[in-house]
Chain A
Amino acid sequence: MTAPLPPFRVLRPQAIEAAVAAGAAPGGARYLAGGTDLLVNLRRGLLAPAVLIDLGGIAEFADIRCTDQRTRIGSGVTLARLATDPAVGARHPALRAAAVAVAAPGHRNLATIGGNLCADTRCIYYNQSEWWRRANGICLKSGGEICHVAPEGKRCHAAFSGDLAPALIALDAVAEIAGPGGRRRIACADLYAEDGRAHLQLGGADLITAIELPAEPVRSGYLKERVRQAFDFPLAGVAVALATETGRLSMLRVAITGTNSRPFLVENTAALLGRAVDEELLGQLDKLVQKQVRPMRTTLTPAGYRRIVAAALARRLLASLGASAAASVA
């Protein structure tokens, strides 16, 4: 072994209330879900909490329940299970595709849906060893004064790189939160803010307990571009959900990850509704995406490519989902 993890205590509550109480206790605690993001960051010295609250002991976190109205997924459900659960696959293809696209099989056996939603943002200047960050000058996100990506600016541009969030946003999912103030529900799209240092709109003791998705049938899909076809974060990831009536779009939601500090729902898609999916429409979506993504130099792959490829993926998904919709009408 080369370097030990920083010292911390591990608590393993059996109930949500106990977890939240521990999370709210003073002294700095972090929730530990699958650990595939958090432990890597701990190993790199990116954070050093005194307490980790292991969520693996909370039985109800591991439930998937399907009713006629909705799908309810406990926040501790692993990505491996999401990828293989027949009901999830049949109802929410985008979610299944996103789960399969994360990291590699071993990670997916550990990683959870809640953890993936709460994954830290990433940047080539941030996800480095302590020696590296010190030698290079501590960045804004690490507690320094300057963002190496955009030194003239005041904010951190680290990119959100989770794969599940865009799928859940496109599928209009809602997150159930337990916190010191009780329970509440937030649309997944509203969980995030465009700030690489504080991208989660949750308090430190807030805990995602479950995700709910509407069960009505929509076509959906997720595509991810990366250098390698496994073991890689998205350069851009795009989820599309749509519905059609008599061959025309009646609903369209497009959500994107990997390009901004938050996963976000592409705006102004309403203008595309009521129309058939054709080249002109695809071109308009392409423009909307290119205009709204904000890739920065947070990856070794150039930002300009991430912009183009985000649009290309959105276009491809809309074309294929739109075509299969047309086929089923015919």
Chain B
Amino acid sequence: MHNAPPGRRRPTPAAGVPLIDGIDKVTGRARYTADLEHRGALVGRILRSPVGHGEILRLDVTRARRLEGVVAVVTGEDCRHTYGVLPVAMNEYPLARGKVRYRGEPVAAVAAIDAETAARALALIELEVRELPAHYDTASARAPGAVLLHEDRPGNIERAVHHVFGDPAAGFATADLVREACIDCAEVNHAQIEPHAALAEYDPQTARLTMQSVSQVTFYLHLMLARCLQMEESRIRVIKPFVGGGFGARVEALNFEIVTAMLARAAEGRVLMELTREETFITHRARPQTSVRIKLGLTRDGRLTACECEVVQRGGAYAGYGIITILYAGALLHGLYDIPAVKYDGYRVYTNLPPCGAMRGHGSVDTRHAFEVLLDRMARELGLDPFAVRRRNLLVAPTRTLNELAVNSYGLADCLDRVEEASGWRGRRGHLPRGKGLGMACSHYVSGAAKPIHWTGEPHAVVNLKLDWDGSVTALTGAADIGQGSSTMVAIAVAETLGVPIERIRVVAGDSATTPKDNGAYSSRITFMVGNAAIDAARRLKKLLIAAAAHKLGEDPENLDCLGGLFGSTRATQTTLSFADAAKAALVNEGTLTVKGTFTCPPEAQGGKHKGGAVGSTMGFSYGAQVVEVSVDEATGRIVVERVWIALDCGFAINPLAVRGQIEGSVWMGMGQALMEETRYLDGMPAHASLLEYHVPTSVDSPPIEAYIVESIDPNGPFGAKETSEGALAGFAPALIAAVADALDVDLDQLPATPDRVMDALVARRRRQRLQHQPAGDAK
């Protein structure tokens, strides 16, 4: 374990460093998948199911195949192998076989010489479907007699989870106040600005496939390509070009990626598949519509005594990440506060809608929202300050939660102090004019799943460093930089460990032909795991360099160090050796040096022994507290977010500039979900499938966000660092709802808090107040 922070020694500027690939982005040189050279490539297009649930009676592609300019047509007949996430729950075909289960499900695909021809070919495919009853909501899917989407899942339940830790009944018995709330959170989507795209090339001479795609998880994509195309893994190469955001949209192999590869193989050539924005929305895999029933017990002075929570997620038509999402939703009730007893019942339900998946804050966001909203209401009822209630229930690190999650560092108390002070909470709360309000909430998230999806016994992360005769250090990592700055983080970790300026480091990332396998950009694992592996590799390389430099300088290696790119004695300073010369010395008799660093989570960090106990386990939780200030227009119901103060305990900020960027972005994404983002289906048709109907907030909808970094120095994190990209998200919506309650005394039970819902709540409040003021005899 690399547990000591490097004494805050920073060859890199304290404010942080710009992204090492930033110049490519601001000049337009950065090539995203659709920008890759594709002259002569065929155009791929997908035919999608018009119905929500049905048996495919006939699929005739003869006429499409005959059309001049069409080179390949593929259908479900061309792939008899399922794909998915968990090895036990892969129940999806890249192209539907036998049945279609949601409107928009891929059924067939063509590769043609141009877009016009591809469109004409799709129109020539004949599809006949016998419609089955479709279930577009969880109640209908769970009702007795509902048609099953998957024969092996009775009641259309993909997974039911029942976990009890501690003694909830005893906990509620000791409470002074027990309250319950039913909170409904709409389905939302990642809406990364880059639409999905893939470029696949199949060489029939060598029987090799090269895949370039928007993936966050090139390794998992590689696995699924091999599985679905029945190719040897070694014949496949997966490359990640620049990726225009992910947020979880691309943390599993996606149907269009496999379909593009199928087309390339069938066409024996190169196929570029660009999905429309509508298709990108239909591909979905985002946060499900979630109904939460939550019950909390509090003592008069704000001590939590018990929590009971039931979660129902509308999962869509296939498994995807579903089992993991429903487990996360319960597991992360733990780890933020000290709660003596927790009961959790979760139901992941199959419905005839596009499959849900992982999205920033995976699994935790909607349950955290419900928890914090209810806690705020109960604090008001008891006349307690919301900050005081949180402080009453803090954990003390190191500790293990009831469900065996390790909490090794815990900066929540500092986060609370920072935002309470910065927002002027004490002087302002309760003194704002009518229509204005302040609210607060807390949240947390994992720094990488301690147990990966595909458990192979390998380390959790591997980084290679190559040192060559020119004195350059190349870091090779499979970690997918999707804009979060992970390649820059690797460069900093290596540079700081070696003691050289960051300019000496090059990072090559995300190419299965050259970089070591990496599980990818999900569950906020990269900084913690890949960062530790990078430090490990740099330490090994440094050891070799110091030995060579010591030999050259005639010094004892024990007394040598590298600072600012110069090797010199830690005792005397008269003789130094440049990094380039040390490198040359190290290569004598060895040639080009390649060293490897690894990181492995120890078994004791991998969660409890109960079923599903691995989900939620991590080496380190990030912690956040935030305050949101709103104005609410009573005449129109419109909420304006005036300002946000957020403090996040990220352990240690390896690149403070990027850390702030991640905190701001995640808070803002929470705002979108809280205020206006929502996917909506009309009889299963995605009515939101454009950036006009799916409301991503614009610059004029977005408030100033003041981000504060709290550094608790995690004992296991790289330089003490933990995750920073997800933990702040879940706190926004409950802080907003609390602020609206503070402003107008209305309780909102639904997300997003759109103007119409606010108006409904205001009308309900007025009705309630009228009834309260009527003399009892008048009430009829």
Contacts and interface: CB of A to CB of B under 8 A. Distances in A.
B755 A225 contact: yes
A301 B699 CA distance: 22
Interface stretch (B273-281, B476-484, B550-558, B721-729): B273-281
- Where chain A touches its partner, the secondary structure class is loop
Given A225-B638, A231-B692, A300-B688, A134 B755 contact: no
A302 interface: yes
B676 A228 contact: yes
Contacts of A308: 759
Interface in A79-135: 104, 124-125, 127-129, 131-132, 134-135
Contacts of B275: 2
Contacts of B665: none
B771 interface: no
B756 A231 contact: no
A135 B755 CA distance: 31
Contact of B636 (A127, A136, A225): A225
Given A124-B687, A132-B278, A302-B756, A228 B695 contact: yes
A262 B103 CA distance: 33
Contact of A131 (B48, B676, B695): B48
Interface core residue of B636, B686, B754 (most chain A CB under 10 Å): B636
B635 interface: yes
B682 interface: yes
A305 B119 contact: no
B698 A300 contact: no
Contacts of A186: none
A231 to B, nearest CB: 6
Interface in A278-330: 300-302, 304-305, 308-309, 312-313, 315-316
A302 B755 CA distance: 10
B701 interface: yes
Nearest to A45: B119
Contacts of A231: 692, 698
B682 A312 contact: no
A309 B682 contact: no
Interface string A233-260: 1000000000000000000000000000
Contact of A309 (B115, B278, B692, B755): B755
A161 to B, nearest CB: 11
B700 A230 contact: yes
B116 A4 contact: yes
B96 to A, nearest CB: 15
Given A3-B115, A135-B50, A229 B700 contact: yes
B385 interface: no
Interface in A179-238: 225, 227-233
Nearest to A315: B635
Contact of A305 (B688, B692, B700, B755): B755
A1 B278 CA distance: 14
A312 B543 CA distance: 73
Interface in B657-709: 676, 678, 680, 682-683, 685-689, 692-693, 695, 697-701
B276 A2 contact: yes
B535 interface: no
A228 B697 contact: yes
Contacts of B689: 128, 132
A300 B687 contact: yes
Contacts, number: 89
B505 interface: no
A232 B274 CA distance: 26
Contacts of B379: none
A301 B757 CA distance: 10
A239 B116 CA distance: 44
B560 interface: no
B51 interface: yes
A124, A135, A313 pick with most chain B CB within 10 angstroms: A135
A73 B701 CA distance: 32
B695 A3 contact: no
B698 A136 contact: no
A305 B701 CA distance: 20
Contacts of A301: 754-756
Contacts of A2: 45, 115, 274-276
A169 to B, nearest CB: 22
Contact of A125 (B51, B115, B682, B701): B682
Nearest to A304: B756
Contact of B276 (A3, A4, A148): A3
B229 to A, nearest CB: 24
A121 to B, nearest CB: 15
A129 B278 contact: yes
Interface in B129-147: none
Contacts of B697: 228
B759 A232 contact: no
A230 B115 contact: no
B695 A309 contact: no
A104 B692 CA distance: 12
Given A3-B119, A228-B676, A309 B636 contact: yes
A159 B605 CA distance: 58
Interface string A1-32: 11110000000000000000000000000000
Given A1-B115, A135-B103, A228-B698, 7 more contacts: A132-B686, A135-B49, A135-B51, A230-B701, A232-B692, A232-B695, A313-B636
23 contacts: A2-B45, A2-B276, A3-B115, A4-B115, A124-B687, A128-B687, A129-B276, A131-B48, A132-B685, A135-B50, A225-B636, A225-B638, A225-B755, A228-B676, A228-B698, A230-B701, A231-B692, A232-B692, A300-B680, A300-B687, A301-B754, A309-B636, A309-B759
9 closest A-B pairs (Cβ-Cβ)?
A: A135-B50, A305-B756, A312-B635, A230-B698, A229-B700, A2-B276, A2-B274, A227-B695, A230-B700
Interface of A: 1-4, 104, 124-125, 127-129, 131-132, 134-136, 148, 225, 227-233, 300-302, 304-305, 308-309, 312-313, 315-316
